[in-house]
């Protein structure tokens, strides 16, 4: 009887197990990439000061024995980055309800992974392993997109930073790639998940910074009148230079009713900031600046809570321009500069500017960085 | 029928209680003495069960985060203030650094990136198991 029961259970389980297995031929796994990244992070060796310096300067260091040794200790990490890139989704499971106390321990570690992977790309190409170099590039791009997948300004900025490592690492080798690999790069990049948008992060700021503060102050006040101040003060910077500013905020918000009112008023400011992103590109920065300055003047909580949106907005524009330049560079490397006629600069009315270099070329967008220089992308050594 | 019952009753009535023997008294006394630890065990068990129930109730109560009254307790206030120390990679400290400058954010991310490497973890974390021998040392 027992044997019959076991056989029946097994016969039910076998098809379930078979269905749970990834289909052969389908490179996309259904797993969570974040779990693979955490395994890669756990495998990060304890770098000594010298190795940290090497990593920091991954883009300029000579690819000598030291760099090779650094990469040799990181082979398992590279494997996990590759596995993460085949996952269908990335869920970091962040504790948003913690509000400003939300911990983002993965971001700094992802940057370290990013630098290692960028060095790996250089190493592969330098050693003639072009196909492995392309794979490493796509894995790094995947890490960038996944690190920036949460609608949090800091996550988004870290995503941009990692992606800039990837674009910089592959740039010298693009003109030397054959059509097949260039197509693989274009197709692989098109399939990648997207980094969250800055405007989406405004919603997060509204709910989990200002919304959290309001909720916590209400709870504290219910518990003990006057205790709302402790919550407000917990957000103050411990920096002595900001002591005066902090005191100003406290002086302006002297009652709980005022604190609540300022917090509610600030909710509307977030909505206006979000709407500013729907304006034509050229008007966005000014509108964001105007709204932020106005809010900071009229609302002491804005001084404490509003993020540096102008910086992140500029970073988003720069990122979008760089990505468009990279995709255009792939097209030029594959089919020649005439391809540019069909590609419009997202920050201008026409195509990107093209300039031939001794061993490659440079594409330039109309977008200007905060330093006043136009954003460009140079390929070739 | 009635006659028979009457005779039975008469016989029962004629029975006299025999005084309790000393031996029996001693045995009962011993039994009572031995049941002491058992009773203590019953009380201990009941106490443990009550404590466990209390613990479960407390845990369930602390999970009710949506209730604003539960969001904050007197002891949680300093904990929150601690979370905004730049020792921890919190949203608040990163946002604060970004508001200063993108370079300040870079520096902070680099510092947090090195945590765990070169013994840069906060002391409390470093000494979580100060005297535990590594199971992988042998």
Nearest to A311 among B81, B92, B102 (CB): B102
Structure tokens at B7: 């005779």
Model ipTM over 0.90: no
pLDDT class of A19 with cuts at 50, 70, 90: very low
**What's the gap in Å between the CA of A362 and the closest CA on chain B?**
27
Mind listing the pLDDT tens digit for each residue in A196-227? 999 999 999 999 999 999 999 999 999 999 99
Residue B127 has pLDDT above 80, yes or no: no
- Pick the most confident of A77-86, A363-372, B129-138: A77-86
CB contact under 8 A, A238 and B85: yes
The C-alpha atoms of residue A199 and residue B137 are separated, in whole angstroms, by 51
Q: Does B81 touch chain A (CB under 8 A)?
A: yes
Give me the pLDDT at residue A8, please. 53
The C-alpha atoms of residue A162 and residue A112 are separated, in whole angstroms, by 9
Nearest to B71 among A46, A208, A215 (CB): A215
Mind listing the pLDDT tens digit for each residue in B41-93? 777 788 888 888 888 877 766 554 444 434 444 344 444 544 477 789 999 99
Q: Which of A126-130, A276-280, B58-62, B110-114 comes out lowest in average pLDDT?
A: B58-62
Tracing tokens 């009148």 back to the chain, one arrives at A225
Nearest to B90 among A102, A219, A223 (CB): A102
Which residue in chain B is spatially nearest to A52 when comparing CA positions? Answer: B114
Instruction: Please enumerate in sequence order all residues whose Cβ is within 8 A of that of A229, keeping only pairs 6 or more positions apart, or say none.
Output: A250
Mind listing the pLDDT tens digit for each residue in A320-360? 999 999 999 999 999 999 999 999 999 998 999 999 999 99
Mean pLDDT of chain A: 91
Say which DSSP state A127 is in: T
CB contact under 8 A, B84 and A49: no
Long-range CB pairs of A105-108 (<8 Å, 24+ gap) are A105/B89, A105/B112, A106/A34, A106/A37, A106/A38, A106/A41, A106/A147, A107/A147, A107/A154, A107/A155, A107/A158, A107/B89, A107/B94, A107/B109, A107/B112, A108/B89, A108/B109, A108/B110, A108/B111, A108/B112, A108/B113, A108/B115
Chain A residues close to B81, C-beta within 8 Å: 230, 233-234
Which residue in chain B is spatially nearest to A153 when comparing CA positions? Answer: B95
Q: Does B72 touch chain A (CB under 8 A)?
A: yes
Interface size, chain A vs chain B, as Cβ–Cβ contacts under 8 Å: 121
Chain A residues close to B91, C-beta within 8 Å: 98-104, 152, 154, 208-209
């Amino acid at each position: 009887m027992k044997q019959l029961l076991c056989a029946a259970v097994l016969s039910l389980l076998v098809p379930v197990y078979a269905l749970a297995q990834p289909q052969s031929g389908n490179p996309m796994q259904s797993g969570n990439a974040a779990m693979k990244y955490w395994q890669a992070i756990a495998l990060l060796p304890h770098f000594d000061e010298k190795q940290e310096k090497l990593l920091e300067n991954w883009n300029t260091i000579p690819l000598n024995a030291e760099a090779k040794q650094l990469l040799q200790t990181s082979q398992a990490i590279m494997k996990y980055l590759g596995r993460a890139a085949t996952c269908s989704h990335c869920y970091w499971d962040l504790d948003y309800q913690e509000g400003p106390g939300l911990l983002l321990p993965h971001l700094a570690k992802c940057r370290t992974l990013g630098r290692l992977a960028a060095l790996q790309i250089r190493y592969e190409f330098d050693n003639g392993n072009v196909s492995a170099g392309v794979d490493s590039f796509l894995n790094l791009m995947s890490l960038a997109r996944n690190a920036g997948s949460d609608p949090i300004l800091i996550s988004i900025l870290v995503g941009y930073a990692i992606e800039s490592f990837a674009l910089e690492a592959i740039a010298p080798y693009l003109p030397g790639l054959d059509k097949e690999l260039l197509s693989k790069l274009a197709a692989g990049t098109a399939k990648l998940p997207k980094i969250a948008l800055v405007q989406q992060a405004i919603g997060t700021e509204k709910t989990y910074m200002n919304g959290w503060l309001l909720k916590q102050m209400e709870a504290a006040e219910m518990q003990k009148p006057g205790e709302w101040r402790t919550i407000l003060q917990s957000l103050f910077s411990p920096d002595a230079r900001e002591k005066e500013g902090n005191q100003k905020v406290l002086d302006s918000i002297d009652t709980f009713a005022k604190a609540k009112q300022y917090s509610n008023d600030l909710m509307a400011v977030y909505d206006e900031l979000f709407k500013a992103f729907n304006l034509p590109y050229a008007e966005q920065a000014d509108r964001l600046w105007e709204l932020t300055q106005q809010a900071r003047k009229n609302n002491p909580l804005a001084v404490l809570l509003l993020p540096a949106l102008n910086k992140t907005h500029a970073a988003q524009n720069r990122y979008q321009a760089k990505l468009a330049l990279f995709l255009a560079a792939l097209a030029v490397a594959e089919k020649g500069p005439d391809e540019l006629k069909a590609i419009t600069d997202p920050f201008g009315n026409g195509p990107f500017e093209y300039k031939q270099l001794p061993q490659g070329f440079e594409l330039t967008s109309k977008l200007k960085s905060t330093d006043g220089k136009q954003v460009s992308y140079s390929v070739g050594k | 029928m009635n006659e028979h019952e009457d005779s039975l009753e008469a016989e029962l009535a004629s029975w006299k209680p025999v005084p309790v023997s000393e031996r029996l008294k001693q045995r009962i006394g011993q039994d009572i003495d031995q049941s002491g630890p058992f009773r203590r065990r019953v009380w201990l068990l009941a106490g443990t069960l009550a404590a466990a129930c209390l613990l479960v109730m407390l845990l369930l109560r602390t999970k009710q985060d949506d209730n604003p009254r539960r969001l904050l307790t007197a002891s949680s206030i300093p904990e929150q203030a601690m979370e905004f120390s730049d020792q921890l990679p919190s949203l608040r400290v990163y946002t604060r650094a970004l508001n200063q400058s993108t370079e300040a954010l870079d520096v902070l991310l680099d510092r947090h990136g090195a945590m765990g490497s070169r013994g840069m973890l906060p002391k409390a974390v470093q000494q979580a198991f100060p005297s535990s021998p590594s199971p992988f040392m042998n």
